[in-house]
Every structure is written in structure tokens, then in C-alpha cells.
Amino acid sequence: MRKAIPFAIESSDFGTQILAQGHLCAIAVREGDATSAGWLADQTMSALRKHRANLPIRTPQIAWVYAAEAALFGLEHGCDAVAAKRLHAIVKRGMNYSIRLGRRYPYVLGPGLRVKACYKAFTKGAKHSRSLFEQAFKAMDESPDRWQAGIAYYEAARVFPEKADEYASKARAIFEEHGIVAELRRLERLMAERPTTAAGLAAPTLARN
């Protein structure tokens, strides 16, 4: 996938370039690589802003979500490759633009709301994200993209330890039904390492600014 990026740039295939960069953002998050996640989020957002007018109608739009998700992961895990202020800006731009796009392309609405819910939990505390998660679930339940629905329930299990079993069960059912093995493994790691308190996802003070 990395090899596709320079070829796409050479041929002015901006859709392929941005889609590849977005997928690399998602991979960095799932590999737990905060440094790469933050750097790739920055690169992807720069490309999205530069080539937004030249993008194909549908496929690359999910890259707005991937960039926001990767930037948020970088913030949560102390990425120092990109300034925190820049990462906050990427999260906000990516999640808000994907939600606006959701009016035309419903497949990005649920993921955008999911990232917004996680960002709210990170910056304000878990209790402030509950209604956004409910909106994300509703959008996901009406979408054929079951992978993204499973991720929404995974994130809810992460943010709300007191309801982790309930949300993890829903995520597991989706991942098992569709054979999404990598996400199943990530879910099992989360449940094995989950906190014993019901405090929810804390917002690290140093990363907020």
C-alpha cells in the first residue's frame, strides 16, 4: 500500500493516493503505533485539503475519518512527532467534515460521529460522549458497513468500562459474523487489559492543549 502512494502522486491519481494514506492511518492505529498514526494523520489531512476538489465522489471520503481517528490515537497515546495543537485541529476538521459529508454519503456519517464521540470522551470525559455514541450506533445500524458498526461498539467498550461487556458482546458478534479476525484480536486485547474501575476514558491533561 505504501508503494501505491508515490505512483499515485506521479500519475495525479489523487483518489488512490488519499485512500492508501487513509488505510495506512487505520493500520497504524490498529498496530498501536502512535508516532506513525500522528504523522500519517498529518500527511493525509494535508493531501485531503490540497486535493479535495479533485477527489472521486465516493471512495476516498472515508479518509477524513481515518485521518481524524489516527490523530486522536496520537493524542491519546502521547505522539510527539506532530504538535498536539495540530493533532487536535486534524481531529476536529476530519470528524466535522465527515459528518457534513454524511448528508450526501451516509457511509461516512456513523464513523464521523464515532470519532466525535471518542474525541468528546477524551477532552471532556466519558459522560459527555454518551449521546454522540447513541447517534453513531443509530447511524451504523442503518448502514451496510458492519465493520464500522463493530468498531463503534469496540470504542464504546473502551470508553465505558462499566458497560464494556455489553458493548464488547455486540462488537464481537459483528466481527465473528463477518470474519473480521484482526478486529476480534484487538477486542480481546482490550477486554483483557480493561481497567477495573468504572471511571471511563480519562482525558490526559498534558495532551489537551
Which pLDDT does position 7 carry in this prediction?
34
Stated pTM of the model: 0.85
Backbone angles phi, psi at 151, to 5 degrees: -65, -40
Which pLDDT does position 144 carry in this prediction?
81
- For the cut 70, the answer to whether the pLDDT of residue 195 exceeds it is no
Single out the residue of 170, 181, 185, 96 nearest to residue 140, CA to CA.
Answer: 170
Which pLDDT does position 5 carry in this prediction?
37
Which pLDDT does position 49 carry in this prediction?
85
- For the cut 60, the answer to whether the pLDDT of residue 153 exceeds it is yes
> Is the Cα dihedral 76, 78, 83, 85 positive or negative?
positive
Which pLDDT does position 198 carry in this prediction?
43
Backbone angles phi, psi at 143, to 5 degrees: -110, 145
Which pLDDT does position 19 carry in this prediction?
84
When pLDDT is averaged across residues 163-174 and rounded to a whole number, the result is 97
Burial profile 51-85: b = 16 or more Cβ within 10 angstroms, e = fewer: eeeebeeeebbbbbbbbbbbbbbbbbbebeebebe
Which pLDDT does position 205 carry in this prediction?
37
When pLDDT is averaged across residues 178-205 and rounded to a whole number, the result is 75
When pLDDT is averaged across residues 148-169 and rounded to a whole number, the result is 96
Strands (E), the chain: none
Which pLDDT does position 196 carry in this prediction?
52
**79-123, pLDDT tens digit by residue?**
999 999 999 999 999 999 999 999 888 889 999 999 999 999 999
